[in-house]
Structure 1
Amino acid sequence: MKNKILIIGASGHGKVVADIAIKMKKWESVAFLDDNRSIKISMGIEVIGTSDKDIDYVDDYEIFVGIGNNAIRKNLHEKLETVGASIPVLIHPNAVIGEQVEIGIGTAVMAGAVVNCCTKIGRGCIINTGSTVDHDNNIEDFAHVSPGVHIAGAVKVGRGSWLGIGSIVSNNVNICGGCKIGAGAVVIKDITEPGVYVGAPVRRV
């Protein structure tokens, strides 16, 4: 483990990620990369370059992609994996993680989140503030579980899907990859086609 961490993205999500890294107290220093050249400091943390320079820092830093957009996060994360970067898992000290939970590299678990036993969370996921992921779930790579989402037991969330703030997923439901579930939506049966889904229960739009 390296004693410095570099976070790609100095805006909203990146700042929350940096806050987790600071509270974990595993790294002596934290720095940002961001493509907005006008940002020099964020949260009192220095922005030392742009995201296209990430490979230059592989030897000295652990690197984490702090970008909310699933597709952009995926592309940057996979590039880092290709060059052998050290990519940590970030778990807020106030998150609750059950027994036999697997969490992939590049995933952030935010404050107040609960991940119950026997759940698998893939690479580059976001388990956002105050969300709950119950037992025996499978959250695939680069998915985003927004703040206040509640996922019951034995649910599968496909690769790159996004569950909007406050949405609810009933037990034993499969959501395929490439879905966007609207804020406050309720999913009570399988979703088998990528798309945007809203309402209670959800309908495709």
Structure 2
Amino acid sequence: MSRRLGIIGAGGHGKVAADTALRCGWLEVVFFDGLAAEGPYSIGHWDVLDVPDNADNHDCDAFFVAIGNAQHRRTWCEWVLSKSLPLISLVDPSAVISSSAEIAEGVLVVAGSVINVDARVGRGAIINTRASLDHDCVIGDYSHVCPAVALGGEVTVGEGSWLGIGCQVKQCIAIGSAVTVGAGATVVSDIQDGLTVVGTPARSV
């Protein structure tokens, strides 16, 4: 059985990742965070150590990057890989994942999520609580599908985009990279790179 997991990022998202890891069978979690540069501390019952000097020699079997900011998450995933350290994904046991779905390394799939047939989730993406990806959806690297988001079939999302809590996306829509979709928005047309959209129907702001 897996033993000790190192999690980079000791905020709220890190705690969700740690809780998921324990449900996935990891026996121990240790956090690494730059805020520990002046000395180790703890969050709850978990230790927090500094990075990067300690992370590659602290007897961890694998690592996970739990940082909400997409660019910072990318940076640290690339750092883990550059050190030839194992970068894993965490998929909550309560999530429903099609046998034909593809999930890259560094992905967090939180409790109650659904990833349907032939969907693909890129490196470092987050599929948050009760999010639903229907058939043939593609989620780009380091994008975040927030809690209770619903994507129809064949939706594509570029890299580093943020789909806010409870938004809905009609089937066959293409959402670009670095896009922000506001909470509760309804997306019924394609969205170009870098835009922020809100409302029903979603419109650029």
* Coarse TM-score class (shorter-chain normalised): over 0.9
1:143-199 CA-partner distances (Å, limit 9, x unpaired): 000001000100001011110111111000000111011111111111123121111
Does the C-alpha gap of structure 1 residues 203 and 57 become closer, same or farther in structure 2, counting only changes over 3 Å? farther
Residue of structure 1 in register with 2:28 after alignment = 29
In 1, distance between residues paired with 2:190 and 2:57? 42
Number of residues of Structure 1 aligned to a counterpart in Structure 2: 203
Answer whether contact 2:6 2:60 (CA < 8 A) is retained.
no
2:41 partner amino acid: K
In 1, distance between residues paired with 2:45 and 2:104? 29
Residue of structure 2 in register with 1:42 after alignment = 43
Measured after TM superposition, the shift of residue 2 of structure 1 is: 6.2
Residue of structure 1 in register with 2:78 after alignment = 78
Answer whether contact 1:15 1:43 (CA < 8 A) is retained.
no
With the length of structure 2 as denominator, give the TM-score of the two structures. 0.93
In 2, distance between residues paired with 1:34 and 1:187? 36
1:107-131 CA-partner distances (Å, limit 9, x unpaired): 0000011111110001000000011
Identity fraction in percent: 40
Answer whether contact 1:2 1:60 (CA < 8 A) is retained.
no
Residue of structure 2 in register with 1:188 after alignment = 188
CA RMSD in angstroms, aligned pairs only: 1.7
In 2, distance between residues paired with 1:57 and 1:138? 35
In 2, distance between residues paired with 1:100 and 1:59? 34
Residue of structure 2 in register with 1:108 after alignment = 108
Residue of structure 1 in register with 2:6 after alignment = 6
In 1, distance between residues paired with 2:104 and 2:190? 24
Measured after TM superposition, the shift of residue 55 of structure 1 is: 4.8
SS at match of 1:142: coil
1:173 partner amino acid: I
Residue of structure 2 in register with 1:136 after alignment = 136
Residue of structure 2 in register with 1:147 after alignment = 147
SS at match of 1:52: coil
In 2, distance between residues paired with 1:108 and 1:129? 10
Answer whether contact 1:58 1:86 (CA < 8 A) is retained.
no
In 1, distance between residues paired with 2:54 and 2:144? 23
Does the C-alpha gap of structure 1 residues 57 and 149 become closer, same or farther in structure 2, counting only changes over 3 Å? farther
SS at match of 1:17: helix
Deviation beyond 4 Å, 4+ runs, structure 1: none
Answer whether contact 1:143 1:158 (CA < 8 A) is retained.
yes
Could you list the runs of 5+ residues in structure 1 that have no partner in the other structure? none
